[in-house]
A and B are shown apart, each in its own frame.
Chain A
Amino acid sequence: MTIHLSIILFLPLATGLLGAFLPRGLARWAVLAGTVAVLAYTVALLADFDGGGGLQYVTDDEWIPELGIRYQLGIDGLNLFMVALTAIAWVPCTLVAAFRQHDRPKLFFFNLALAETAVLGAFLAQDLALFIVFFDLMLVPFYFMIGGWGTGDRVRATTKFMIYTLAGSLLMLAAAVALGVLSTPDGGEISFSLADLQQRSVSEGTQQWMVLLFALAFFVKAPLFPLHGWVPETYRSSPIVTIALLSGVLSKVGVYGFLRIVLPVMPEGAQHWQELFIIVAVFSILYGSILAFSQDNLRLVLAYSSIAQLGFIVLGIFALEDKGAQGAVFQMLNHGLVVVPLFLIVGVIAERARGSESLSELGGMAFRAPVLAALFLIITFATLAMPGSGNFVGELLVLFGTFEDKLVYGLVASVGVVLAAVYMIRVFQGTMHNRPGPDVEPGEIDGLHLAAIAPLVAVIVALGVYPHFVVHRTEKATTAAIQEARGIGQEVANR
Chain B
Amino acid sequence: MSGTSYGWLVLAFPLVGTLAIAFGWLGGLRGRTAGWIASGAIFGAFLSAIGALIQLQDQPEESRSLVDSAWTYVATGDVKVDLAILVDPLSVFMCLVVSGVSFLIHVYSVAYMGGDRGYTRFFAYLNFFVFSMLLLVLASNFVLLIVGWAFVGAASYLLISFWYRRETATRAGIKAFVINVIGDVGLVVAAFLLLDQTGALDYAGVFAQADHVFGHNDGTLVAACLLILVGAFAKSAQLPLHTWLPDAMEGPTPVSALIHAATMVTAGVYLIARTHPLFELAPAAADVGAIIGTATLVFAATVAVAVTDLKRTIAYSTISQIGYMVLGVSVFAYGAGMFHLMTHAFFKALLFMGAGSVISAMGGIQDMDRMGGFRKAMPFTFAAFTAGALALAAFPFTSGFFSKDEILAFTLERGGWYVVLAIAGYAGAALTAFYAFRMVFRVFYGNPVEEARELEQGHIAHHPPSNPATGEPEDTDVGFPAEEHHIAEREWPMRAAMGPLAVLALLAGVVQVPGVSDVIEKFLEPTFADSHFHDTAPSDSSEWVGLLLGGLISVAGIAAAYHAYVRRRGITLQLRDRFPRVHAFLVNKWYFDELFEALFVRPVATAGGFGRAVIETRFVQGFIVGGATGVVRVGSSLARAVQTGYLRAYALLLLLGVALLILYFLLASS
A interface residues, Cβ below 8 angstroms from B: 159-160, 162-164, 166-167, 170, 173-174, 177-178, 181-182, 184, 225-230, 232, 287, 290-291, 293-295, 322-323, 326, 364, 366-367, 370-371, 374, 377, 381, 384, 386-388, 392-393, 396-397, 399-400, 403-404, 411, 414, 417-419, 421-422, 425-426, 429, 432-435, 466-468, 471-472, 475
Q: Contact between B165 and A434 (Cβ–Cβ < 8 Å)?
A: yes
Q: Contact between B146 and A387 (Cβ–Cβ < 8 Å)?
A: yes
Whether, in the assembled complex, B658 has its beta carbon less than 8 Å from a beta carbon of chain A, the answer is yes
CB of B250 to closest CB in A, whole Å: 12
Write out the residue numbers on chain A whose beta carbons fall within 8 Å of the beta carbon of B121. 370
Write out the residue numbers on chain A whose beta carbons fall within 8 Å of the beta carbon of B77. 322-323, 326
Q: Which residue of A291, A400, A403, A468 contacts B611 across the interface (Cβ within 8 Å)? A: A291
| Bound-complex Cα distance A79 to B77 (A) | 20
Q: Contact between B75 and A471 (Cβ–Cβ < 8 Å)?
A: yes
Q: Contact between B607 and A290 (Cβ–Cβ < 8 Å)?
A: yes
6 contacts across the A-B interface (CB closer than 8 A): A167-B654, A174-B662, A177-B661, A291-B608, A291-B616, A387-B149
CB of B488 to closest CB in A, whole Å: 30
CB of B667 to closest CB in A, whole Å: 10
Whether, in the assembled complex, B528 has its beta carbon less than 8 Å from a beta carbon of chain A, the answer is no
CB nearest neighbor in B for A231: B620
Q: Contact between A418 and B616 (Cβ–Cβ < 8 Å)?
A: no
Write out the residue numbers on chain A whose beta carbons fall within 8 Å of the beta carbon of B146. 387
> A381-B154, A387-B184, A429-B170 known; A326 and B608 CB under 8 Å?
no
CB of A33 to closest CB in B, whole Å: 30
| Bound-complex Cα distance A381 to B658 (A) | 45
Q: Contact between A388 and B147 (Cβ–Cβ < 8 Å)?
A: yes
B interface residues, Cβ below 8 angstroms from A: 22, 25-26, 71-79, 121, 143, 146-147, 149-151, 154, 157-158, 161, 164-165, 167, 170, 173-174, 177-178, 181-182, 184-185, 188-189, 192, 195-196, 475, 478, 604-605, 607-609, 611-612, 615-616, 619-621, 624-625, 628-629, 632, 647, 650-651, 654-655, 657-658, 661-662, 665-666, 668-669
Q: Contact between A182 and B665 (Cβ–Cβ < 8 Å)?
A: yes
CB nearest neighbor in A for B611: A291
> A226-B619, A418-B178, A429-B161 known; A467 and B624 CB under 8 Å?
no
Write out the residue numbers on chain B whose beta carbons fall within 8 Å of the beta carbon of A322. 76-77
Q: Contact between B628 and A364 (Cβ–Cβ < 8 Å)?
A: no
Q: Which residue of B189, B195, B619, B629 contacts A163 across the interface (Cβ within 8 Å)? A: B629
Q: Contact between B165 and A435 (Cβ–Cβ < 8 Å)?
A: yes
Q: Contact between B75 and A399 (Cβ–Cβ < 8 Å)?
A: no
Q: Contact between A433 and B624 (Cβ–Cβ < 8 Å)?
A: no
Write out the residue numbers on chain A whose beta carbons fall within 8 Å of the beta carbon of B185. 414, 417-418
Q: Which residue of B143, B149, B611, B662 contacts A287 across the interface (Cβ within 8 Å)? A: B611
CB of A418 to closest CB in B, whole Å: 5
CB of B480 to closest CB in A, whole Å: 9
Q: Contact between A290 and B654 (Cβ–Cβ < 8 Å)?
A: no
CB nearest neighbor in B for A467: B74
Q: Contact between A433 and B611 (Cβ–Cβ < 8 Å)?
A: no
Q: Contact between A386 and B150 (Cβ–Cβ < 8 Å)?
A: yes
Q: Contact between A433 and B147 (Cβ–Cβ < 8 Å)?
A: no
Q: Contact between A294 and B620 (Cβ–Cβ < 8 Å)?
A: no
| Bound-complex Cα distance A364 to B173 (A) | 15
| Bound-complex Cα distance A404 to B654 (A) | 42
Q: Contact between A468 and B73 (Cβ–Cβ < 8 Å)?
A: yes
Write out the residue numbers on chain B whose beta carbons fall within 8 Å of the beta carbon of A226. 619-620, 624
CB of A398 to closest CB in B, whole Å: 11
Q: Contact between B604 and A387 (Cβ–Cβ < 8 Å)?
A: no
CB of B608 to closest CB in A, whole Å: 3
Interface centre among A173, A177, A387 (most CB of B within 10 A): A387
Q: Contact between B475 and A291 (Cβ–Cβ < 8 Å)?
A: no
| Bound-complex Cα distance A24 to B475 (A) | 46
| Bound-complex Cα distance A179 to B292 (A) | 60
CB nearest neighbor in B for A229: B625
- In addition to A291-B611, A323-B77, A472-B75, 12 A-B residue pairs with Cβ atoms within 8 Å of each other are A163-B628, A164-B628, A166-B654, A167-B628, A177-B662, A178-B665, A181-B666, A403-B189, A403-B192, A418-B182, A421-B181, A422-B604
Q: Which residue of B158, B182, B196 contacts A404 across the interface (Cβ within 8 Å)? A: B196
Write out the residue numbers on chain B whose beta carbons fall within 8 Å of the beta carbon of A174. 658, 661-662
Q: Contact between A468 and B167 (Cβ–Cβ < 8 Å)?
A: no
CB of A279 to closest CB in B, whole Å: 16
CB of B69 to closest CB in A, whole Å: 12
Q: Contact between A414 and B188 (Cβ–Cβ < 8 Å)?
A: yes
CB nearest neighbor in A for B167: A434
Q: Contact between B165 and A364 (Cβ–Cβ < 8 Å)?
A: yes
CB of A458 to closest CB in B, whole Å: 13
Q: Which residue of B76, B182, B607 contacts A397 across the interface (Cβ within 8 Å)? A: B76
Write out the residue numbers on chain B whose beta carbons fall within 8 Å of the beta carbon of A425. 157, 173-174, 177-178
CB nearest neighbor in B for A300: B612
CB of A249 to closest CB in B, whole Å: 24
Q: Contact between A294 and B612 (Cβ–Cβ < 8 Å)?
A: yes
CB of B622 to closest CB in A, whole Å: 9
Q: Contact between B662 and A468 (Cβ–Cβ < 8 Å)?
A: no
Interface centre among A226, A229, A370, A374 (most CB of B within 10 A): A229
Q: Contact between A294 and B167 (Cβ–Cβ < 8 Å)?
A: no
Q: Contact between B611 and A294 (Cβ–Cβ < 8 Å)?
A: yes
| Bound-complex Cα distance A173 to B154 (A) | 47
CB of A310 to closest CB in B, whole Å: 16
CB of B122 to closest CB in A, whole Å: 13
CB of A147 to closest CB in B, whole Å: 10
Q: Contact between B192 and A429 (Cβ–Cβ < 8 Å)?
A: no
CB of A246 to closest CB in B, whole Å: 18
CB nearest neighbor in A for B613: A294
The 3 closest A-B pairs by CB, nearest first: A294-B608, A433-B164, A387-B150
Write out the residue numbers on chain B whose beta carbons fall within 8 Å of the beta carbon of A435. 165, 167, 475
Write out the residue numbers on chain B whose beta carbons fall within 8 Å of the beta carbon of A295. 612
| Bound-complex Cα distance A333 to B629 (A) | 34
CB of B652 to closest CB in A, whole Å: 11
Q: Which residue of A178, A381, A433 contacts B661 across the interface (Cβ within 8 Å)? A: A178
Q: Contact between A163 and B650 (Cβ–Cβ < 8 Å)?
A: yes
CB nearest neighbor in B for A464: B147
| Bound-complex Cα distance A472 to B181 (A) | 28
Q: Contact between B151 and A388 (Cβ–Cβ < 8 Å)?
A: yes
CB nearest neighbor in B for A387: B150
CB of A401 to closest CB in B, whole Å: 8
Interface centre among B74, B164, B658, B666 (most CB of A within 10 A): B74
Q: Contact between B161 and A411 (Cβ–Cβ < 8 Å)?
A: no
CB nearest neighbor in A for B657: A170
CB nearest neighbor in B for A174: B661
| Bound-complex Cα distance A230 to B71 (A) | 44
CB of B125 to closest CB in A, whole Å: 11
| Bound-complex Cα distance A419 to B177 (A) | 11
Q: Contact between B76 and A429 (Cβ–Cβ < 8 Å)?
A: no
Write out the residue numbers on chain B whose beta carbons fall within 8 Å of the beta carbon of A393. 73-74
Q: Contact between B661 and A367 (Cβ–Cβ < 8 Å)?
A: no
CB nearest neighbor in B for A470: B74
Q: Contact between A386 and B165 (Cβ–Cβ < 8 Å)?
A: no
Interface centre among B609, B624, B651, B654 (most CB of A within 10 A): B654
Write out the residue numbers on chain A whose beta carbons fall within 8 Å of the beta carbon of B619. 226
| Bound-complex Cα distance A488 to B74 (A) | 28
| Bound-complex Cα distance A106 to B604 (A) | 46
CB of A358 to closest CB in B, whole Å: 14
| Bound-complex Cα distance A232 to B661 (A) | 32
Write out the residue numbers on chain B whose beta carbons fall within 8 Å of the beta carbon of A294. 605, 608-609, 611-612
CB of A293 to closest CB in B, whole Å: 5
Write out the residue numbers on chain A whose beta carbons fall within 8 Å of the beta carbon of B147. 387-388, 392
| Bound-complex Cα distance A215 to B301 (A) | 57
Write out the residue numbers on chain A whose beta carbons fall within 8 Å of the beta carbon of B71. 466, 468
Q: Contact between B662 and A434 (Cβ–Cβ < 8 Å)?
A: no
